[in-house]
Amino acid sequence: MADRGELGQRKAVVLHTIVEEYVRTGEPVGSETIAERGGLGVSSATIRNEMAALEELGFLSHPHTSAGRIPTDAGYRHYVDTLPVRGRLRDVQRKAIASHFAEAILDLEEVLKGSVMLLSRLTQYAGVAVPPGAAEEQLVRLELIDMGPTMMVLAVGQHGRVDKQILDRPEHWSTEAFHRAERKLRALQGQTYSGSQAKLLELAATVPADEHDLLLMVADVLRLATRGDHATHVMVGGVANLADEAQTWRRETLRRLFETLEREQEMLQVLHDVAADDVSVTIGAEHPTTGEWEASIVTAPFRAGEVNLGTIGIVGPTRMDYLSAMASVRAVAERLSEAATELEQ
């Protein structure tokens, strides 16, 4: 896309200044302000020419003739793409991150929950995360538990995930039949989720009908835990921040935003769409869903070693402090990766 050179040095500076000023104040920015604070030794008339050009190019817009300019989604995009520096965190923020990761890490799921809240506090937006899927994780337990009229399938993964599902217990099953099924499942311990799942489907073809159904249901429990190689649920935290007065959303937009944040499948899709190999920013209409919200998403993957585990990030208004949001997300994702890597030895 357009880079700094393509746009011309001065236009880029003007655009950056407008973005930063608008994000800071929430007010449309006028040429006078840029002339004063932009650090270009140039009059407001010159700035006005540049601004008209930037508007022509689609980077700025005009609420009305005699107001200042505000950035369009494309304007924010250019700003983000040409940021000359990585954002630096303030000391308080750095400390908050350090103290959050100071304790010995035992349960990644717990840490992830905490990290979502941490990010929401750091940025004053809402935190989101997609936890690791289980496809390649080893099963350390796969049990069938008799619970009277029902039975529970319980799967425990090497890294601490626990999936359960309660099923009908076929009435005519003898204790003997139950134990047989139990043993079959137990035999899969030590394999991966996806491996066991495949094996179960295989196995199902070779057994009588009622046991057949059971094995398929267990396979389904494993499938749900590994769906699309990612988790089945999304963590969301700090949504109250989005209701802050300082945010410019109309009620109706806010409502739709909250609605979607509650729908896990939809959020999962959105976060999947925006995921990238590094810190990624999706601004307003760049994605249909964020467009509907008039919001932006900043995410980063976290890894154990070289393997992507999941995604963590924030959701906020398009009028966002991208520099600091990106810095926070990057920092938390990095610490999280360190923690996860260590946890895998």
Partner DNA sequence: CTTAGCACTCTGCGGATGAGAGTGCCAGCT
Partner DNA sequence: AGCTGGCACTCTCATCCGCAGAGTGCTAAG
Q: Which residues are near DNA by CB under 7 A?
A: 10, 27-33, 41-46, 48-49, 51-52, 55, 62, 64-69
Smallest distance from DNA to CB 17, Å? 12
71 vs 316 by CB, closer to a copy of itself: 316
Min dist CB 250 to a copy of itself, Å, is: 8
User: In this chain, which stretch among 153-161, 197-205, 312-320, 326-334 interacts with a copy of itself, using CB under 8 A?
Assistant: 153-161
Q: Is 238 in the site for a copy of itself (CB under 8 A)?
A: yes
Where does the chain show beta strands of DSSP type E? 60-61, 70-71, 126-130, 139-147, 150-157, 162-168, 235-237, 280-283, 295-304, 307-317
Residue 158 sits in the site that holds a copy of itself (CB under 8 A): yes
CB of 42 to DNA, least distance (A): 4
CA dihedral 86, 91, 94, 97 (to 10 degrees): -140
Distance, CA of 37 to CA of 201 (rounded, Å): 67
Q: Which amino acid is at 64?
A: H
In the chain, DSSP finds a helix count (H) and a strand count (E) of 14, 10
Contact partner at residue 345 from DNA, a copy of itself, none, CB < 5 to 8 Å by partner kind: a copy of itself
Instruction: State which of residues 3, 27, 262, 278 lies at the interface with a copy of itself (CB under 8 A).
Output: 262
Tell the residue number behind the tokens 């070693």, with chain if given: 305
- Looking from the CA of 308 toward its CB, the CA atoms found within 13 Å total 14
Q: Which of 53, 83, 152, 204 binds a copy of itself (CB under 8 A)?
A: 152
- Read off the DSSP letter of residue 119: H
* Contact stretch for a copy of itself (CB under 8 A) within 89-97, 135-143, 205-213, 298-306: 135-143
Angle at alpha carbon of residue 139, lines to 137 and 143, rounded to 5°: 150
Distance CA 320, CA 125 (A): 9
Residues at the interface with a copy of itself (CB under 8 A): 104, 106-107, 110, 140-141, 143, 145-150, 152, 154, 156, 158-160, 162, 164-168, 237-240, 243-245, 251-252, 254-256, 258-259, 261-262, 345
